[in-house]
Amino acid sequence: MDDASVAGAAEWLGSWFWAGGYDVAREVLQRGTAAVLVVAFWAVMRQWRPLLGVRGLTPAVRVLDRTRWRDGPSVLRWRCTDGFVVALGWGGASLAALLVAGVPQLGPWWVTTLAFLMLWVVYLSVVNAGGRFYGFGWESLLCEVTFLVAWLGSSGGGVAPPVLVILLARWCLFRVELGAGLIKIRGDRAWRDLTALDYHHETQPLPGPFSWHAHHLPRWWHRVEVAGNHVTQLVVPFLFFAPQPVASWAGAAVVLTQLWLVVTGNFAWLNWLTVVLGLSLVSDGSWAAVGGWLGLARSAPSPGGVPDGAGGLGGPVALVVVVVAVSALLVALSYRPARNLVARRQLMNASFDPLRLVNAYGAFGSVTRRRDEVVVEGSTARSPGPDDWVEYAFRGKPGDVRRRPPQVAPYHLRLDWQMWFLALGSPEVRWFEVLLLRLLEADPATLRLLRADPDAGPAGPAPRWVRARLFRYRFSTRDERRRTGAWWVRHELAVLVDPVDLARMRRLLGPAA
């Protein structure tokens, strides 16, 4: 075969290997994922000490002691001091911020790859040591997507993104959406009879500023919401692999539904990371068309070419080799998640490999019909009466009935989420008992997790007593809202924890606390 034939074959193979026309998709995937990582590492810096530190509610060292390396790889097995983990959080957030700005992407492809792989190793280490406070599906999703976008190359390298990685990103989004849709259809009857959103806006873990308004929309609109959700999660995912512009329209459908979820609730970065994956379906040509409709200047789609002599298949040989190898690995690891999608007993938010490279996703297979909240109170009185108790105010979860539900996502309030599970009847309560102990101690790190400390915390006297009561909450009606200004109406169901002082809590929990 002469040189011209070899060059022609390489050009032909390159046209299949490189995803010309997806430069914007690469930027969205890499910078969007990096932006989510900034938020995730910021949460590590803010919440690690009180939740998982040496004096945390569930110390990470105990989580690591109960597991093996092969079950949960983590650099924290070598060093797990509070200062070290917080330093990792600062380093991770700083590196992720550079990726948001596009600085590593200006260099050769391996610089970007190395940056994302470092972030993946560090965040995976945190997740595998985080126990219940990191047991959420979006933690595995962030690990998976961070590893995946590491192989997209860089804009500074002059090559288009590899088509295999673009397809694997679609496969990830396919599992996120279809998994969530199937878990609903197989789970609660309310999803099948279209009544789920009669309850969900009110009973979801952390309602947002517009959840009250969404709850009071007409019943027929709630039916439309559920039906639209089923279409987006059960039908649209099969269009992710269709030719353009169909795939772009499918991505737009995902983005619109996810933005509605952003408006009506707080689900950490799950919706935002799904938006990033949805936008990656949109081709450069579709972006140009949208620009034309908006009266903006059209920019020609990138041809995905590279300078002469850049390497085999029209790009760096090393990148070609590693992308093929990584893609083969991810395809092999996809067997169990794919089988889970068609399984009668579908697992929700499951990881099938300790590196969390290819996972199973799903959410809200069942919908709670009533909302219960655990209210924690403190008192400085020696013998407190009914009027001597003051509530601890949490940052996100409902408490004061006059406080409008706040917008906290994409930030993840891990303690507030666990309080929601506690009210549902979670059998594991030791972390909550330790929380009461820390409140009695007026522990500064723990108090910073809260919005307000009724007893002035470290700047004043610690409470003599704490207690916990269970309340039934519901959104106020429009008339109640006009008359009282309250967003919620509540009534007491039971006393969960009778008044307890510091000495008794220490005896109850022992020296390990």
pLDDT tens digits, 385-435: 999 999 999 999 999 999 999 999 999 999 999 999 999 988 889 999 999
pLDDT at 453: 63
Closest CA to 117 of 34, 174, 44, 176: 34
Cα(175)–Cα(183) distance, integer angstroms: 11
User: Using N-to-C axis directions, what is the helix angle for 82-101 and 109-129, rounded to 10°?
Assistant: 140
Cα(436)–Cα(245) distance, integer angstroms: 56
pLDDT at 493: 96
Question: Strand, helix or coil at 375?
Answer: strand
Model's pTM, two decimal places? 0.92
Closest CA to 213 of 433, 477, 459: 477
pLDDT at 310: 43
442-470 residues labelled b (16+ CB within 10 A) or e (exposed): bbebbbebbbebbbebeeeebbbbbbbbb
Q: Are 138 and 268 in contact (CB under 8 A)?
A: yes
DSSP string, 250-316: HHHHHHHHHHHHHHH---TTHHHHHHHHHHTTS-HHHHHHHHHHTTPPP-PPP-----TTS-GGGS-
Q: Are 274 and 14 in contact (CB under 8 A)?
A: no
| Distance spanning both ends of the chain, measured CA to CA | 74
Residue 453 CA, distance from chain mean position: 28
Cα(138)–Cα(121) distance, integer angstroms: 16
Cα(287)–Cα(422) distance, integer angstroms: 45
Residue with tokens 């996703």: 361
Closest CA to 202 of 25, 362, 420, 34: 420
Instruction: Quote the longest CA-to-CA distance of the chain.
Output: 96
**CB neighbour list of residue 44: distance below 8 Å, 6 or more residues apart:** 85, 86, 88, 89, 92, 126
pLDDT at 455: 56
- Residues of the chain falling short of pLDDT 50: 3, 5-10, 12, 298-312, 456-459
Q: Are 264 and 201 in contact (CB under 8 A)?
A: yes
pLDDT at 157: 73
Cα(106)–Cα(311) distance, integer angstroms: 18
Cα(229)–Cα(224) distance, integer angstroms: 8
